[in-house]
Amino acid sequence: MAQQDVLIQVKVSTDLEARHVQKALQTIANNFKAQELVSISKKIELPLVKLKIKSMI
């Protein structure tokens, strides 16, 4: 499978926060396949799913 960089924009306050966000998103990307990420993005919009995730952090 070909690898491709995907750029996203996230509002951050500092360079340190930007590095932390980048590392966090890379960790998520490393643990899921591309199709799984698409599925997660669709499910995270559901209020109960979003609430469950927020309650775990």
Per-residue confidence (pLDDT) for residue 2, from 0 to 100: 82
Quote the CA–CA distance of 21 and 11 in Å, as a whole number.
10
Q: pLDDT higher for 15 or 2?
A: 15
Could you report the per-residue pLDDT of 13-42, keeping only the tens digit for each? Answer: 999 999 999 999 999 999 999 999 999 999
Long-range contacts of 22-27 (CB under 8 A, 24+ apart): none
Contact indicator for 3, 11 with CB cutoff of 8 Å? no
pTM to 2 decimals? Answer: 0.77
Could you report the per-residue pLDDT of 36-46, keeping only the tens digit for each? Answer: 999 999 999 99
Check whether 1 has a pLDDT greater than 80. no
